[in-house]
Amino acid sequence: MNLQTRSQHACFGGRMGFYAHAAQATGTEMRFAVYEPPQASARKLPALYYLAGLTCNEETFVIKAGAQRLAADMGLVLVACDTSPRGLNLPGDADAWDFGVGAGFYLDATAQPWAGHYRMSRYLNEELPALVEANFPVRSDRRGIFGHSMGGHGALVNALRNPQRWHSVSAFAPIANPVAVPWGEKAFSNYLGSDRQQWEAWDASLLMRARPYPGLMLVDQGLSDQFIDNQLHPQALQAAADASGQKLELRLHEGYDHSYWFIQSFIADHLRHHAAILGS
Amino acid sequence: MNLQTRSQHACFGGRMGFYAHAAQATGTEMRFAVYEPPQASARKLPALYYLAGLTCNEETFVIKAGAQRLAADMGLVLVACDTSPRGLNLPGDADAWDFGVGAGFYLDATAQPWAGHYRMSRYLNEELPALVEANFPVRSDRRGIFGHSMGGHGALVNALRNPQRWHSVSAFAPIANPVAVPWGEKAFSNYLGSDRQQWEAWDASLLMRARPYPGLMLVDQGLSDQFIDNQLHPQALQAAADASGQKLELRLHEGYDHSYWFIQSFIADHLRHHAAILGS
């Protein structure tokens, strides 16, 4: 497997790095970021994968969330991937900020022209961990996943679909019931086609009702989030947990919005949640 | 005094805000950012001003340094200003990344066409603190200043010139002897004219030799900083401190570069340095 190092920087006694590789799942170059805490020089550590939201890329989380200080304390490797393939110039892939480039929704598209390239779920579940585990000091038996907004959806859905691959999961302000909101309807109708039954396989609330995740889910949501009513629907997740017996800690925070100011305020609780399950 | 709120966000139980006002010192709109920790709802707190480096603006520090978590713990208000006036379209002000827009060097220009507008020192020492102290819960008798690169130069120089205004000071990778390096020569010859004697009033190492700052200076410098030999010259600052009796803690860090990955790694020590002097 090829791996191109774009840059590396000393950070909290460890290493912040930016990488690229030719990805089979997407047929494009994909970029990702890895923070290796100081403990990584001595032994293999658990890896925690972060999925960013609409318009973001592999840099967003590592620049804005203030997570490295905590990961260095806790002995967690952080991995952040991009939000979609880039550079394909498929028709319509750059017309909107909530679809196409920067908006891959962490699923595997089945409709044309997206099916051959927008396979972010395959990328995230198989190709990226294989690459990371072959090239960085991380354990393959201890993986966590979390994310924000579209990336919160991605974290919940991929953990629910592949609980054997993701040993811990959490989310900030996830799109919790995408089949019922405009962002999800737009993405799913294009990526998956018009048969709404196909969409259910990528909806956290619906997946959870059918088969809960075998562990505690931590979800934080700001009550001043401008997208809470139209796009996020945390109450659907709570209802699904109530119906299915899913262990869910859904925390609603007065005054917090959808931004990384919100994420950084609660990132420590998320890293502790993952570290408690994954070890360090 | 006018004050326009551009946005505010809950952050670590306090408030991250972005503001603009019509500045007299520059004759332009100036933008700045203020982080108010939770303690600010109960009492006035010390304010710590941050000056960013070349190409940066009032957002850079508050997004990249991870300081809010610590400021919320310590009870410090953080203030970040812009690096120059903007929108003037003076001849040549946008031709280079190291001069003009984004590169005001925190001095008061005396040469045309800059003299009427590039008065960042007056802005920083007088107008901005007056505005902040009139509109935010901060003490006017407890101000700290710090910065990075060009902003490290700005922090050291303005503290040395106005020790009664700045009760604590520190810097990351400052341009420590600007009269002797290309960035400084370019800026000073344009902003201050060809008389090199005028430049000495804006050079931290030369100012310190004439009149040390009445307190400990903390300076961090990475030894893998790509600018250390050509532009920063920390050894000039150490020599000036040795000659003048300045109390200087200059820490050299193996492996660290010029980036905010470096800054965030040591930001806690800087906030603790300021909090120890300023109280909280």
For residue B16, the enclosing domain spans 4-275
| B223 close to A (CB below 8 A) | no
The rounded distance, in Å, linking the Cα atoms of A61 and A123 is 19
- Which residue from A minimizes the CA distance to B13? A265
CB contact under 8 A, B12 and A264: yes
B280 inside domain: no
The rounded distance, in Å, linking the Cα atoms of A112 and B121 is 58
Q: Is B63 helix (H, G, I), strand (E, B) or coil?
A: helix
A280 inside domain: no
Q: Are B16 and A269 in contact (CB under 8 A)?
A: no
The rounded distance, in Å, linking the Cα atoms of B118 and B112 is 10
CB contact under 8 A, A9 and B257: yes
Q: Are B118 and B26 in contact (CB under 8 A)?
A: yes
Tokens of A133: 């585990």
The rounded distance, in Å, linking the Cα atoms of B134 and A157 is 49
B200 inside domain: yes
The rounded distance, in Å, linking the Cα atoms of A186 and B145 is 49
Task: For B4-17, write each residue's pLDDT tens digit.
Answer: 999 999 999 999 99
The rounded distance, in Å, linking the Cα atoms of A143 and B133 is 48
CB contacts, 8 Å: A251 with chain B: none
| Residue-averaged pLDDT of chain B | 97
Q: What is the SS3 string spanning B202-271?
A: HCHHHHHHHCCCCCCEEEEEECCCCCHHHHHCHHHHHHHHHHHCCCEEEEEECCCCCCHHHHHHHHHHHH
B65 inside domain: yes
Would you state the pLDDT for residue B234? 98
Q: Are A66 and B63 in contact (CB under 8 A)?
A: no
B140 inside domain: yes
Report ipTM for this prediction. 0.96
| Percentage, residues of chain B above pLDDT 70 | 100
CATH number of the domain that B240 lies in?
3.40.50.1820
Residue B280 pLDDT grade (very low, low, confident, very high; cuts 50, 70, 90): confident
Would you state the pLDDT for residue A2? 86
Instruction: Please identify among residues 258-277 of chain B the ones whose CB lies closer than 8 Å to any CB of chain A.
Output: 259-262, 264-265, 268
Q: How many domains does chain A have?
A: 1
- pLDDT of A149 > 60? The answer is yes
Between chain A and chain B, the number of residue pairs with CB atoms below 8 A apart is: 66
Q: Are A39 and A75 in contact (CB under 8 A)?
A: yes
The rounded distance, in Å, linking the Cα atoms of A97 and A54 is 7
Would you state the pLDDT for residue B2? 86
Q: Are B80 and B68 in contact (CB under 8 A)?
A: no
Question: What pTM was computed for the model?
Answer: 0.97
Would you state the pLDDT for residue B1? 56
B8 inside domain: yes
Residues 6+ away with beta carbon under 8 Å from B104: B83, B84, B85, B118, B120
Task: For B155-211, write each residue's pLDDT tens digit.
Answer: 999 999 999 999 999 999 999 999 999 999 999 999 999 999 999 999 999 999 999
Mean pLDDT in residue range B114-121: 97
For residue A165, give the DSSP letter. Answer: T
Task: For A3-21, write each residue's pLDDT tens digit.
Answer: 999 999 999 999 999 999 9
| Cis peptide preceding A212, ω within 30 of 0 | no
Task: For B34-79, write each residue's pLDDT tens digit.
Answer: 999 999 999 999 999 999 999 999 999 999 999 999 999 999 999 9
How close B76 comes to chain A (CA, Å)? 16
| B253 close to A (CB below 8 A) | yes
- Which residue from A minimizes the CA distance to B37? A265
| B11 close to A (CB below 8 A) | yes
CB contact under 8 A, B9 and A64: no
| Residue-averaged pLDDT of chain A | 97
A48 inside domain: yes
- pLDDT of A50 > 70? The answer is yes
CB contact under 8 A, A10 and B69: no
CB contacts, 8 Å: B222 with chain A: 10
CB contacts, 8 Å: A16 with chain B: 261
**DSSP β-bridge partners for residue A79:** A34, A49
| B122 close to A (CB below 8 A) | no
Q: Is B164 helix (H, G, I), strand (E, B) or coil?
A: coil
A197 inside domain: yes
